[in-house]
Amino acid sequence: MDPPPRTPQQPGLEVRYDTTPPTSVDNSRAGDWNHPPHDGHSYTSPAVEQKILAIHNGYEPVAHQAHNYADAGGSSTLENQRGTSPPRRPWLLLALGGLVVFVLAGVIGGVAGWRVTADLNQRPAGDSNPGTLDGDGSGGNATQIMQNSALATVGWRIGSDFTVQLFFQGPDSRLRRLQYTTLYQNWTAPIDMDAAPRAGAPLGASQLWIVPDPTLPGIPQAELFYIGSPDKILGINWRDGYARAGLGDSINGLMYRTDNSGTQMAAYWPSMVVQASNGDVMDVTWDYESGFQAPKRIGVTASPGTALVMLPREALHSAGDPNPASSARIVYRDTTGRLRNFDRSAAGLEQVSSGELPVTVDANFTMGGFAVARLDSDGKRSQSVNTWILYQDSKTGNISYVYEDDATGWKGPKTDPVFDGADKATHIACVTAASAKIPQVPLEGSHDLSHCFFQVDKKLKHIHFDGQSWEDMGIIPIP
């Protein structure tokens, strides 16, 4: 199902449509590290990108052909995947058994060994913390990441396990992805995503829940948006077990462009925001009935090149609603230098509230943020959210934060030694779990996913907030 034509005629948006076809990419450069799926299920072909449209009371998968991204294996159609298989042979069972042993040996001896190598001389003997997400010291490799690369991150829970993905740009401008899963208790080696945004491009990551069958649990799908050359708004998406370099997103065929080379970006499904050259903050939203909608003003004019943060406004976010829905909290720097929040209702048509955060920031500041559900007096999850905003003064390099954890408003600013040594003008990225009405996945009050990342000596620094204090998780051990 193709989305209807977009014909927004709103002067000042500085958004153009390009009729040149998107450039195909060669996925043959992807490395050999392979992460098994979280739950072992394979629902669809990796050669298509799926999102879910709400039709009456059911769901319909909508396929968009990928642009020459490598198939992770198998047929390109669901029917062929489910077709009749030839009879099993004893040698095949033996081979599969050997493969399982080989894979387990690789996970235990190879990936775990990578972590052990990064741990040498970093911890006293016997000091371990299984089940945590830990960068483990100073084993990072600064040559794998561009200085002051944009950063974006997502994370989700499945049962008692969680996964975090972190995206950045390499010195060759190509996108890289790191992944941590508590199931393996290790970060992956950097995965080349076979996409090369313009140098220094902004990134925006979000995650949605795929429901191929109402009787099955939701499947997490990560979305990464970026600005390509020449200034196209592009995207990649993927799920575990498929093409690990990612699949071309359906937004790629819509040819959205912005001529504002200084725009930053933020995303929280089903929306992504960028800035027009006249300062207007613009939104691109996925409509569950007709796909991505053309960029439109949200009613905010910000300072040129402002950092942007987009977070949920309530614990049960509007994603998945069959009606156009995109409630959100957007944080930005206004034209006077103050940080402000703009809260909007579903469909983004009504401003719910707007307020000042208790800080003034410089024009080249960077910012990240995260949110969790607020607990009521009985310790139960409420519909309200608690929010933390981290920001850096580009002149001093100092990172501070403000937060809102009750109905009295914003508190702070505060700082913490965990931020010491941050590179000047480093980007900051923090994890906020996805939430949705359909399937119903509310935010939790837990801080297990409250992880943030920034650069120190070009390397990726990892910190965690447990709800009360900050913890230094070390440098991510990139080989």
pLDDT computed for residue 377 by the predictor? 86
pLDDT computed for residue 344 by the predictor? 84
- 46 confidence band (pLDDT: 50, 70, 90): very low
Cβ-contact 273, 345 below 8 angstroms: no
DSSP helix/strand/coil, 107 = helix
Q: Does the residue 3 lie in any domain? A: no
Residue 82 has pLDDT above 80, yes or no: no
Q: Does the residue 245 lie in any domain? A: yes
What is the residue whose two structure tokens read 């600064």?
A: 142
DSSP helix/strand/coil, 254 = helix
- 58 confidence band (pLDDT: 50, 70, 90): very low
What are 336-390's pLDDT values in tens digits? Answer: 999 999 988 765 555 666 789 999 999 999 999 999 999 998 888 998 999 999 9
One domain, residues 102 and 217: no
Rounded percentage of the chain residues whose pLDDT exceeds 90: 51
Region 278-292 average pLDDT: 91
Cβ-contact 429, 368 below 8 angstroms: yes
Q: Does the residue 173 lie in any domain? A: yes
What are 410-442's pLDDT values in tens digits? Answer: 999 999 999 999 999 999 999 999 988 778 889
- 217 confidence band (pLDDT: 50, 70, 90): confident
Return the higher-pLDDT residue of 34 and 405. 405
Q: What integer best gives the mean pLDDT of the chain?
A: 75
One domain, residues 147 and 296: yes
Give which of 222, 224, 248 is closest to 25, Cα–Cα: 248
Greatest C-alpha distance within the chain: 73
Residue 20 has pLDDT above 80, yes or no: no
pLDDT computed for residue 161 by the predictor? 93
In the chain, the amino acid numbered 236 is I
Q: Does the residue 74 lie in any domain? A: no
Cα dihedral value 356, 361, 367, 373, nearest 10: -30
One domain, residues 238 and 323: yes
Q: Does the residue 134 lie in any domain? A: no
pLDDT computed for residue 139 by the predictor? 53
Q: What is the DSSP string of 138-165?
A: S---GGGS-TT---EEEEEEETTEEEEE
Q: Does the residue 41 lie in any domain? A: no
Each residue of 62-95: b (16+ CB within 10 Å) or e? bbbebbebbbbeeeeeeeeeeeeeeeeeeeeeee
Give which of 174, 146, 140, 151 is closest to 392, Cα–Cα: 151
Rounded percentage of the chain residues whose pLDDT exceeds 70: 67
One domain, residues 330 and 375: yes
The full length of the chain comes to: 479
One domain, residues 112 and 150: no
Residue 2 has pLDDT above 90, yes or no: no
Structure tokens at 77: 């159609």
One domain, residues 97 and 217: no
What are 443-469's pLDDT values in tens digits? Answer: 999 999 999 999 999 999 999 999 999
One domain, residues 295 and 361: yes
Cβ-contact 392, 426 below 8 angstroms: yes
Lowest mean pLDDT among 92-96, 115-119, 350-354, 363-367: 115-119
Distance from C-alpha of 23 to C-alpha of 194, rounded to nearest angstrom: 12
pLDDT computed for residue 352 by the predictor? 66
Lowest mean pLDDT among 22-31, 208-217, 269-278, 381-390: 22-31
Q: What's the angle, vertex CA 243, arms to CA 237 and CA 249, rounded to 5? A: 25
One domain, residues 149 and 95: no
Region 100-129 average pLDDT: 33
Distance from C-alpha of 27 to C-alpha of 25, rounded to nearest angstrom: 6
pLDDT computed for residue 93 by the predictor? 44
One domain, residues 100 and 213: no
Name the burial class of residue 191, with classes exposed (0-12), middle (13-18) and buried (19+) by CB atoms within 10 angstroms of its CB. Answer: buried
Q: Read off the CATH number of the domain in which 466 is found.
A: 2.120.10.70
H or E stretch including 274?
A: strand 271-275
Q: Which domain holds residue 116?
A: 88-120
Number of domains, the chain: 2
